[in-house]
Amino acid sequence: MTSPDALEKPAETHYPNSALYRNCIRCGLCLAVCPTYRDSLKETASPRGRVALARKGLEGQLELTPNLIEQMYSCFACMACDDICPVGIQPAELATAMRYVQEQREPARWKKTLFENLIPHPGRMEAATLPLRLYQNLGVRRLVYVLGLTRLLPKQIRDMEAMLPHLPQRPLRQGLPELTQAHRQAKFRVGFFLGCAQSLLFAEQSAATVRVLSRNGCTVITPKDVECCGMPALGYGRLDLVQAQAKHNIAIFEETDLDVIVTDCATCGSTLKEYGAYLKDDAEWAGR
């Protein structure tokens, strides 16, 4: 990442490379694939609009105000605009990079609490979700539905409660062995990256993944010390934390001789594949 010449900037602040925004030809192809633009039909809610706002902010024509940065948070990061752009502009990546700019200039305390002190620590995440497991596994949830108490909840909380999946008795990280031997002859050594949500919410699915790998001739190693893949922190502009988590996870898997690393979490998979890009400017870690 490079620093725009026109912007007065705090020392050590990292800015998006100008290739992410200077070549936009405003053709409008990105508008057709952008869900936020289709919903609002506002230029500022489109990839093209975000690119224009980011460029003006980075080149000093607009102030980098919280309102401008808020436009970057309206992006879903679905990457459809990145794929369709005929000149290689990456509006979704630019929106994420602009969030990082804001965090470097005016860090938010709640993000430090959430993304530094909670999410990277599996034990703390398990403790934080314990009330949800008790709510469901002790029958409280069923009683709430029988009595119709969900009607008393605010609409947003009611919607979130309705989406709560069936939770395991305990997180999978606590019960899944670090080494699962292959059935019959071992053909591959596979590292299994157990994601946060998979361990806490979808334990049965990930346990099934390990069984399928084992039955297909894979010796499966599931390190218990891996941290969050980094996607939550990335989405809220903490690229520094993503890089730290990437280094931690790389070091963990380097300790074992593996043929491949597998995850059954789509978010983790997409993030792990980008570790090379996040660490490309770090001479020590780029190759690793």
Q: What is the pLDDT of residues 223-236, one digit of tens each?
A: 999 999 999 999 99
The conformation of residue 107, written as its DSSP 8-state character, comes to -
What tokens does 42 get? 């506002």
Alpha helices for the chain (secondary structure H): 35-40, 47-58, 66-73, 80-84, 91-105, 109-117, 122-128, 130-137, 140-146, 155-162, 172-175, 196-200, 203-215, 231-235, 239-254, 266-272, 275-278
What are the tens digits of pLDDT across the range 157-197? Answer: 999 999 999 899 999 999 999 999 999 899 999 999 999 99
Contacts of 13 (CB under 8 A, 6+ apart): 3, 101, 104, 105
1-15: average pLDDT: 54
Rounded distance, CA 180 to CA 184, Å? Answer: 12
Instruction: Give the pLDDT confidence score for residue 170 in this predicted structure.
Output: 92
Question: Can you give the pTM of this predicted structure?
Answer: 0.84
Supply the DSSP symbol for 164.
Answer: P
What's residue 10's pLDDT? 46
* Residue 84: pLDDT band with limits 50, 70, 90: very high
Task: Tell whether the model's pLDDT for residue 274 goes beyond 80.
Answer: yes
Tokens encoding 227: 């941290």
CA 137 to chain centroid, in Å, comes to 28
Cα–Cα–Cα angle for 69, 49, 91, rounded to 5 degrees: 75
Q: What is the pLDDT of residues 201-227, one digit of tens each?
A: 999 999 999 999 999 999 999 999 999
According to the model, what pLDDT value does residue 106 have?
87
